[in-house]
Amino acid sequence: MKLFIDQLITQIKQKHTPCIVGLDPALERMPESWLKEQCINQQSSLTDCAEAIYQYNLMVLDAIADLVPAVKPQSAYYELFGSAGIVALEKTIQAARDRDLLVVLDVKRGDIASTATAYAQSYLPRKPKLPLEADAITIVPYLGQDCVEPFFEEAIKWGKGIFVCVKTSNPGAAIVQEQKMNDRYLYEIIADLIKPALAKSIGEFGYSGIGAVVGATYPEAAQKLRKQLPQSLFLVPGVGAQGGGNEGIKACFNPDGLGAVVSSSRAIMYPHQYSAADANRDTIRQAAIDLITQVTEILEFTG
């Protein structure tokens, strides 16, 4: 059983990039011309809308599959369309696998005891085969140690990954995550919850799949967390549409150029919203190449 972390780093090395693409299919962001081609309007059924978001995902996957090691579907965009949306998510996961992409499922689950275990078993086990099986998932840790442990145990059992929301990219997070207890921020205390699981999940490259979500929008926090969790993989949102800059990205990596994956969703899926270009396979691919180039330049400068 090859660990998720080793599969991911192998793909990062082969494709020469730590960038991944978020799959956040929102009908209101898609070009009107494309929606017309799909016969989608305000009267369309949930089933038709769900099929449309799946078809849009296929266009994105075909554009970026050879460029990046993984994709990150955000579950909420699929749940919006009920059971039809879940089917679209299942088909998207399978389509990503068919293109040799790893899947980080952004579900941000968080509960305790048997409920946390049930959530973990919905997404992580390799056997029995489940349609929503992912290579890694995101979780929210604010119910404490008995919230994160069931997820860690299931991930370690199956060689999967967990990304704990430690210092997220949204501005409103500061009111919680930057509360101080003595001389430490709450996000530093949350990061300590990850440490006990690290030694049980170190792969051949010296990194653990038990990682943290660390936004590129807070460079100083990222620097602290990188020192605190040197062997953890960081999932780095906040790039592109959320405005995360070069310093925030750079702070999430170790000197070896590893230790983080940089995720961008809207800026890649919807290039027409950020330039005069239409959204199609070519412009989506170019948006991904632009992100890869930006991050490559940052890492080369760091090295």
The CATH code of the domain that includes 271 is 3.20.20.70
Is the per-residue pLDDT at 242 higher than 60? Answer: no
In degrees and rounded to multiples of 5, residue 22 shows phi and psi of -80, 140
Task: Report residue 14: phi and psi, to 5°.
Answer: -70, -40
Q: Which domain holds residue 264?
A: 4-302
Contact 235, 265 (CB under 8 A): no
Q: Measure the CA–CA gap between 31 and 273, rounded to whole angstroms.
A: 9
pLDDT for 121 beyond 70 = yes
Percent of the chain with pLDDT over 90: 86
219-233: per-residue pLDDT in tens? 999 999 999 999 999
The per-residue pLDDT for 240 is 55
Q: Is the pLDDT of residue 137 over 60?
A: yes
- Mean pLDDT, range 101-107, rounded to an integer: 98
Helix (H, G, I), strand (E, B) or coil at 32: helix
Is 2 annotated as catalytic?
A: no
- Of 254, 73, 263, 232, give the one whose Cα is nearest residue 162: 232
Give the span between the Cα atoms of 206 and 258, in whole angstroms.
10
Q: pLDDT class for 303, splitting at 50, 70, 90? A: very low
Closest CA to 163 of 223, 237, 216: 237
What's residue 301's pLDDT?
A: 55
Question: Mean pLDDT for the chain?
Answer: 93
From 108, 157, 160, 195, the catalytic residue = 108
Q: Residue range 292-299: average pLDDT?
A: 91
pLDDT band at 199 (very low <50, low <70, confident <90, very high): confident
* Separation CA 85–CA 79 (nearest Å): 5
259 vs 163: CA distance, rounded Å: 13
pTM of the entire structure? 0.95
- CB distance 215 to 247 below 8 Å: no
Q: What is the enclosing helix (H) or strand (E) of 233?
A: strand 232-236
**Cα 231 to Cα 229: distance, rounded to the nearest angstrom:** 6
Total number of domains constituting the chain: 1
Hey, what amino acid is at 126?
R
DSSP string for residues in 56-125 = HHHHHHHHHTTT-SEEEEBTHHHHTTHHHHHHHHHHHHHHHHHTT-EEEEEEEE---HHHHHHHHHHHS-
